[in-house]
Amino acid sequence: MTSPQPISLHVNGERVDAYVLPRTNLADFLREHLKLTGTHVGCEHGVCGACTIRLNGEIVRSCLMLAIQAHETQVETIEGLSDSGEISDLQAAFRERNALQCGYCTPAMLITAQDLLARESAPSREQIREHLSGNYCRCTGYQAIVDAVEATATARQGNKGRAP
Ligand code: FES
Ligand code: FES
């Protein structure tokens, strides 16, 4: 099977119908076919985490999946999370705490951090480090990233406690 195959999926809430070669990986499909270039590609073999996206609500490495495997799924990329405002506080915390330098790891780092905060509202620094351990950053030394995630968790906890 080497000819383009039809796939249908939802990407950031919008239906996408496309033809893809069976060997095309999901990261390349998002970047090259859909021009969603916030999904970065580093190692292309599942190590660096730069290609992290959400698929049916779970974070996955899009370099390890074929686009054809995403047929009939819900994909969310950094563009979707950013446009919806879901992570605006986390993005602001990253800026304020200098948790990014070149920014190459940042989209995936934000998606992974948001995944943790959705599961654990008050994670310890150890839990934050553990959850982000599959995402490599070659610039920051991680301290500032952990600070930003911790600060976001604390702020969200405070907001929850406030009267509407
Ligand atoms: S590019 Fe996918 S894990 Fe590195
Ligand atoms: S900010 Fe450069 S790789 Fe993380």
Contacts of residue 104, defined as CB under 8 A and 6 or more positions apart, other chains included, come to 40, 42, 50, 138, 139
* Ligand 2 atom at minimal distance to the Cα of residue 99: 1
Tell me the mean pLDDT in the region 130-157: 97
At 47-56, the pLDDT tens digits run 999 999 999 9
At 25-70, the pLDDT tens digits run 999 999 999 999 999 999 999 999 999 999 999 999 999 999 999 9
pLDDT computed for residue 2 by the predictor: 86
At 91-107, the pLDDT tens digits run 999 999 999 999 999 99
Is the shortest distance between the CB of 102 and ligand 1 below 6 Å? Answer: no
Is the shortest distance between the CB of 138 and ligand 2 below 6 Å? Answer: yes
Q: How open is the CA angle 93-96-98, to the nearest 5 degrees?
A: 100
Is the shortest distance between the CB of 47 and ligand 1 below 6 Å? Answer: yes
pLDDT computed for residue 50 by the predictor: 98
Of 131, 157, 154, 152, the residue nearest 142 (C-alpha): 131
Tell me the mean pLDDT in the region 63-90: 98
CA 35 to chain centre: 16
pLDDT of 6 > 60? The answer is: yes
Residue 112 tokens read as 């992974």
pLDDT confidence bin for 164, thresholds 50/70/90: low
